[in-house]
Amino acid sequence: MDFVPYRLLRNEPGKLRERLTQQGQLVLTSEGQPIALMVSVEPGRLEETLRLVAQLRAQIAVTSMREEARRRGLERMTSRQVADEIRRSRRSRRR
């Protein structure tokens, strides 16, 4: 996967589009740090591509939550403890 600086997008968008067409995906960087992933979209597939990207982001979020739960030792909670926590949370929202 190619990494391309943001200034290429700003200064030479045609060249960037050509590289994206050839590669299919590029990582856009700013000051050497990745800031965005560019993915080419096939004609008629925009909605499908957006849906898949949203699913991927959701999977990443769930993975992050699971890692945080493991870090905090929450995976050792019993079903009863989980149910109690849910009840407490719901009660606090009603107030």
CATH topology for the 1-40 domain: YefM-like fold (3.40.1620)
Q: What is the per-residue pLDDT across 10-56, written as a single tens digit (0 to 9) for each?
A: 999 999 999 999 999 999 999 999 999 999 999 999 999 999 999 99
C-alpha 31/C-alpha 17 separation (Å) is: 21
Q: Which helix (H) or strand (E) holds 39?
A: strand 33-39
In a 13 Å sphere around the CA of 83, the CA atoms on its Cβ side amount to 3
Q: Give just the sign of the alpha carbon dihedral 59, 65, 71, 76.
A: negative
Predicted confidence (pLDDT) per residue in 69-87, tens digit: 999 998 899 999 999 999 9
- Give the chain's count of helices (H) and strands (E): 4, 3
Per-domain residue ranges of the chain: 1-40, 42-95
Mean pLDDT of the chain: 93
Are 38 and 25 spatial neighbours (Cβ–Cβ below 8 Å)? Answer: yes
